[in-house]
Every structure is written in C-alpha cells, then in structure tokens.
Structure 1
Amino acid sequence: MLVEIVAEIDLNRAFRHLQTEGAGGINLFIGTVRDHANGKKVRLLEFEAYIPMALLEMQRIGQKAMERWALERVVIQHVTGEKKVGEPVVITGASSAHRAAAFEASRFLIDELKKTVPIWKKEYYEDSSVWVNAYP
C-alpha cells in the first residue's frame, strides 16, 4: 500500500505502484483544482493537514479497502500547499484481477478520504477566500 502526503502528485509513481502481474484492472481517480466553486471564479486552493493523523487514517481506509475487495494494491496520495487550477491534488487508486473491484475500491477510497481524513482546503476566489471544510 502506498499512502502519502506530498507536495506534488506523482502520477507515474502511483501507476507503477499499482502495477502487478496479477492486476487485470487498474483504476486511478485524480482530483484536480477546478476554476469555479459556489458561483465564484477560483484562483487557487491551499491544503493543510494534520499529517500524522492523516497518514494513519489513510492507512486505515486503504486497509479496509484491501479487506473488502480482492485487491492487488492500493494508492492514496494527497497534497499540501497551494495548487493552481488544473493541478492534481489527490489520487486514489486500486488494482485487482478484475476491473469491478478496482473501480469500486477507488470510489470507496476517495469517498472515505473526504469524510474522515484531517485535510483542510481553503479556496481563493478573485474577491475573497474561505476555508471550505473546517473539519472532516
């Protein structure tokens, strides 16, 4: 399992980690900064995390996915710091013998990460800024 809080998302590292000889399906979800939110134009996002707790929770989520589905491997990467529109900020991924498990597990990973991992996002608009999630 590859679980990381990083300054930059490394798509190649994530993909290489998920590759195994037994993996017939690899699914990667990539979350990026979009240019709008709440009817406003977004300039950039800033992420902060309580890293020790975030890594523990990400590890727990990954382990839960491994137990629920017949997976080869799991990856979860999330950034901290400022990111511009179009830049990747989170990856969840799973590999398995068959695609269904990889798709289902990857969706589970991102949904659980958003619910429980202590990572906070601040949106910077053209006219203001706001912390979007004060707590998971």
Structure 2
Amino acid sequence: MRRVIVQESDFDAAALQRALYEACAGRAGAIATFTGYVRDHAPDQATQTLYLEHYPGMCERELQEIGDAAMQRWDIGGYVILHRVGELPRHAQIVFVAAASAHRGEAFRACEYIMDALKTRAPFWKRERLTSGEQFWVQARDADFDKTRRWDDAPAAMPPADQEQEQ
C-alpha cells in the first residue's frame, strides 16, 4: 500500500494503521506511526488556529515521491501519508504518517524520514493565529533542513547521527 491523502476533514489514525496492516497481508511485523497536532506557538502564546494552504496536485506528487523514496531506501511494505489543510484549531490532528515493515528499525527510520522530508519538501504554507489576534506565516526552521540533509548524507540503511542502531 502506498497511500497519500490531503484533506480538510479529521482522520482516524487507528483506522489508517489498520488499513496499512491489512494491506501488507501478514508481512508487517511492525508499523511505526506519527501523529502531529496543532500546538501552541510558544509557552506564553496560545495558538487559536493554524491555517494550511497547499499546492493541489503538486503537493500529492511530492508526498508520493517522499514515500516512494522511503520504500527504496528501507525494506518497508507500504506507507500512509495524510496531511490536513484548511483552518485547524489548537490541538487538532494535522498529520499522520505510518510505515510498515517486517522489522521495527526499518519502520521507525522510514516513518521519521518521511516526516522530516515532508516538513522541508512538501508545498504547504502555514498561517498561525494566536489568541492575542496576532497572525503570521510560519517560516521553515534551519533545524528541519538540517535533519533532512542528515538523511540525504547518511548511507541508505543508517539512521541520522542522533539515533542509535537497533540492537
């Protein structure tokens, strides 16, 4: 299963994980998942909403390329990438990523790679509105680009430098 979804509506993470597991027809010994939520801008600045825009068509293609790159790099049997767009309130689910593999290490690394690449390559734009009324476009962080570069520089089977090898 190679599934990419961009939608406004909320999602059921358990149902997405179950569908990936079933699509792997018993070959998945592990499914690693990540669910991201709209969080407060800073400890002293509450977020009211996060508005996400995307480039339809291009966004889905880029997410598919990221997922396919993970499949080529690690021995995963499939993935799900779901990202929401539109106006989301604080604490809403925003993104879901899952990778299925026979072994946990492959699934963990693929899931993390997909999420890191998504943050720097997928054409999404985020506008945050705080409870104070302040609004601003969220800028990409250098740390996100650094994480993606570590993956690009690492041998295919190896995780970035800040992770330990699976024992």
**TM-score normalized by structure 2?**
0.76
**Counterparts of 1:4-19 in structure 2 under 5 Å?**
4-7=5-8, 8-19=10-21
Question: Secondary structure in 1 aligned to 2:65?
Answer: helix
Query: Cα offset for 1:16?
Result: 2.2
* CA apart distance, 1:38: 7.7
Paired position in structure 1 for 2:3: 2
What displacement does 1:39 show? 4.7
Residue 105 of structure 1 aligns to a residue whose secondary structure is helix
Aligned with 2:139 (options 126, 130, 133): 133
- Correspondence list, 1:67-106, <5 A: 67-106=72-111
Check conservation: 1:9, 1:78, Cα contact below 8 A: no
Which deviates more from structure 2 when the two are superposed, residues 60-69 or residues 123-132? 123-132
Q: Distance in 1 between matches of 2:49 and 2:33?
A: 23
Query: What is the SS of the residue equivalent to 2:94?
Result: strand
Measure how far apart 1:12 and its partner are.
3.2
1:62 and 2:63 correspond: no
Note the C-alpha offset of 1:131. 0.8
Partner of residue 55 from structure 2, selected from 40, 46, 50 = 50
Higher relative contact order (CA 8 A, sep 6+): 1
- The aligned amino acid for 1:11 is A
Report SS of the residue matched to 1:40. coil
SS at match of 1:22: coil
Higher strand share: 1
2:44, 2:114 → 1: CA distance? Answer: 28
Partner SS state of residue 37, structure 1: coil
Please, what is the CA RMSD of the aligned residues?
1.7
Gaps of 5+ in 1: none
How many angstroms apart in 2 are the aligned matches of 1:115 and 1:41? Answer: 24
Identity %: 37
CA contact (8 A) 1:25 1:95 kept: yes
In the alignment, the residues of structure 2 paired with residue 33 and residue 74 of structure 1 have an alpha-carbon distance, to the nearest angstrom, of 22
